[in-house]
Amino acid sequence: MIPYGRQSIDSGDIGAVVDVLRSAALTQGKKVEEFEEAVAGYCGARFAIAVSNGTAALHVAALACGLKQGDEGMTSPNTFLASANSIAYCGAKPVFADIEPDTFCIDPAQIEKKMTRAAKAVIPVHFAGHPCDMEAIWKSARERGLYVIEDAAHAIGSRWKDRDGAWRTVGSCTHSHMTVLSFHPVKTVTSGEGGMILTNDEALYKACRRLRSHGMTRDPEEFEGTAFSSQELLMPWYYEMTSLGFNYRLTDIQSALGISQMKRIGAFISRRREIWKRYNGELSGLPGVTLPVEKEWADPAWHLYVLRVEQRDRLFRYLRDRGVGCHAMYMPVHLQPWYRRTYGHQRGDFPVAEEYFSKCLVLPLFPAMTDEMSGQVISAVKGFYEDGELRCGNLE
Ligand SMILES: Cc1ncc(COP(=O)(O)O)c(C=O)c1O
């Protein structure tokens, strides 16, 4: 089975990990900072905080915004559970705004429509690697004093062009307070598990860094003072817990893999773009099939290749039977049992996301895919239409 996504590991990656295993520090060493610097430098952000996964990054970022019970955090229904769950972890209410019908990213007009006085943060998700309309989102968030956290789990390396013609890189946080990344193995760059928060705001950076490690700080500038004397405050053993944090740390082993992968990010992204373009070129004109679009103002580092297909479930089974590990994502988050039970959501609440999900089909896309593999995927898709209704009918 050709999977829909998988990591590309070379001997350099293996060597980097082995070096850490042979070193003194498996965690809390220098590799974590080095990874943070590599990613912050690549994306153009001032600060980076590496954490154990993208979900932890979202949780920490939401807490750093002060999201709490009584607040609302808004996100897309077309995302992985983590984007919405992170809001609920803080005790706040996840609220959804429907997506745009062509990019499948959150629709800025819907954000405006769904915004209430309780709204405190918006988490736009750069779905499949295509950037959201950050200029519009940032404008309305600023007008209402909302925090913006970009969920860029799919989109490291993506760029967009503002209306004034300036190109912006996802993660540079020009139009957000923070950007969150994931380094899960299906993502563009992996550290096994891993995540990162990027920001240009020093106060948010410090808050995230504390939350990553139990709410602890050893920085005298952050001390609030405790029952200890001023002499004791100067002792090397002294630290303070100033907020309720977690152990969301990334290890040096994982960071070494991440650093090594970052050296090949350019090649990973161009190969993804190449395969995406090949699919788009060869799959055009099939009946009932809509190809993904790349807006003229967008330069996506594609994470997913998503078709919309009238006979999705039939084609899905047909491809799986032929070794093509296609996927369908995302099941709209508001239709999950917990979300329905907790917030009373039902079918029809977000019609664009629901319609999108009923037709979406994700084809395999990862840098280690050979031309032969992408050719196999293309032939299998075309085969479905060439085989005609009779054989398709037999699949049900
Ligand atoms: C859009 C989105 N947000 C957040 C996450 C969570 O990242 P992680 O799996 O690293 O916790 C994912 C991971 O699949 C994702 O796709």
The answer to whether the CB of 125 is under 6 A from ligand 1 is: yes
What distance in angstroms lies between residue 216's CA and the mean position of ligand 1's atoms? 26
**What confidence tens digit (pLDDT) does each residue in 259-303 have?**
999 999 999 999 999 999 999 999 999 999 999 999 999 999 999
Specify which residues 73 forms β-bridges with.
94, 121
For the domain spanning 265-394, the CATH number is: 3.90.1150.10
**Nearest ligand 1 atom to alpha carbon 184:** 10
pLDDT score recorded for residue 225: 86
State the CB neighbour count (10 A cutoff) for residue 315.
24
The answer to whether the CB of 82 is under 6 A from ligand 1 is: yes
Same fold across 11-262 and 265-394:
no
Query: How far apart are alpha carbons 1 and 38 in whole angstroms?
Result: 34
What distance in angstroms lies between residue 182's CA and the mean position of ligand 1's atoms? 6
Which of 338, 39, 349 shows the shortest CA–CA distance to 172? 39
Mean local confidence (pLDDT), 148-153: 99
Mean local confidence (pLDDT), 140-163: 97
The answer to whether the CB of 53 is under 6 A from ligand 1 is: yes
What distance in angstroms lies between residue 232's CA and the mean position of ligand 1's atoms? 42
Look up residue 228 and give its amino acid: F
The answer to whether the CB of 154 is under 6 A from ligand 1 is: yes
What distance in angstroms lies between residue 55's CA and the mean position of ligand 1's atoms? 6
CA 257-262-264 angle, 5° bins:
105
Given ligand 1 and candidates 6, 7, 39, 55, which is best to mutate, with the most ligand atoms within 8 Å of its CB?
55
Work out the percent of the chain whose per-residue pLDDT is above 90.
Answer: 97
> What are the backbone angles phi and psi of residue 120, rounded to the nearest 5°?
-125, -30
Q: What is the largest CA-CA distance in the chain?
A: 84
Q: Whose CA is nearest to atom 16 of ligand 1?
A: 80
pLDDT score recorded for residue 29: 96
Mean local confidence (pLDDT), 54-71: 98
Q: Whose CA is nearest to atom 8 of ligand 1?
A: 54
pLDDT score recorded for residue 240: 96
Query: How far apart are alpha carbons 276 and 296 in whole angstroms?
Result: 16
pLDDT score recorded for residue 394: 47
**What confidence tens digit (pLDDT) does each residue in 173-197 have?**
999 999 999 999 999 999 999 999 9
What distance in angstroms lies between residue 47's CA and the mean position of ligand 1's atoms? 21
Q: What share of the chain is helix, strand, coil (3-state, %, to 5)?
A: 40, 15, 40
Band of pLDDT at residue 387, cut at 50, 70 and 90: confident
User: What class, spelled out in words, does domain 11-262 have in CATH?
Assistant: alpha beta
Cis preceding-peptide flag for 385 (omega within 30 of 0) = no
Residue 393 has pLDDT above 90, yes or no: no
What distance in angstroms lies between residue 126's CA and the mean position of ligand 1's atoms? 11
CB contact set of 341 (below 8 Å; sequence gap of 6+) = none
Residue 71 has pLDDT above 50, yes or no: yes
Band of pLDDT at residue 391, cut at 50, 70 and 90: low
Residue 395 has pLDDT above 70, yes or no: no
Return the axis-axis angle of helices 252-262 and 30-43, rounded to nearest 10°: 30
Q: Residue 392: enclosing H or E segment and its boundaries?
A: helix 371-394
Which of 393, 384, 392 shows the shortest CA–CA distance to 363? 384
Q: Are 244 and 3 in contact (CB under 8 A)?
A: no
Given ligand 1 and candidates 106, 184, 189, 303, which is best to mutate, with the most ligand atoms within 8 Å of its CB?
184
Mean local confidence (pLDDT), 91-98: 98
Query: How far apart are alpha carbons 251 and 223 in whole angstroms?
Result: 26
State the CB neighbour count (10 A cutoff) for residue 389.
10
What distance in angstroms lies between residue 229's CA and the mean position of ligand 1's atoms? 44
Which of 179, 85, 199, 168 shows the shortest CA–CA distance to 124? 179
* Domain spans of the chain, in order of start: 11-262, 265-394
pTM of the model: 0.97
Query: How far apart are alpha carbons 139 and 111 in whole angstroms?
Result: 11
The answer to whether the CB of 54 is under 6 A from ligand 1 is: yes
The answer to whether the CB of 195 is under 6 A from ligand 1 is: yes
Q: In what order do the strands lie in the sheet with 305-309?
A: 289-290, 305-309, 360-363
Query: How far apart are alpha carbons 49 and 40 in whole angstroms?
Result: 9
